[in-house]
């Protein structure tokens, strides 16, 4: 079963990658972009047929490895 983990910097945490993207977009003429936040998306193919169990496993993986929960928040969904 495919599970998607999305990891984003928490609100209030400085996001230098997002700021760099915003500046680059501005220099390309995209002036209407007020804010950019950059995160990661990780698609996991888990040997699990039960959606609830697959989500629980992905959440444990996110807490233990995929996200730094001090500065990042994560969401888990079945795409």
Q: Which residues bind a copy of itself (CB under 8 A)?
A: 6, 8, 18, 21, 24-25, 28, 30, 32-48, 57, 60-61, 64-66
Bridge partners (DSSP) of residue 73 are: 8
What is the CA 42 to chain-centroid distance, rounded? 8
CA distance 57 to 41: 16
Residues 1/48, Cβ–Cβ less than 8 Å:
yes
CB of 52 vs a copy of itself, minimal distance in Å: 15
């Amino acid at each position: 079963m495919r599970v998607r983990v999305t990891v984003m910097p928490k609100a209030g945490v400085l996001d230098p990658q997002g700021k760099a993207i915003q500046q680059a977009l501005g220099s390309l003429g995209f002036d209407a972009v007020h804010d950019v936040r950059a995160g990661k998306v990780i698609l996991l193919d888990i040997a699990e047929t039960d959606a609830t169990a697959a989500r629980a496993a992905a959440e444990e993986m996110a807490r233990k490895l995929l996200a730094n929960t001090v500065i990042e928040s994560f969401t888990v969904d079945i795409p």
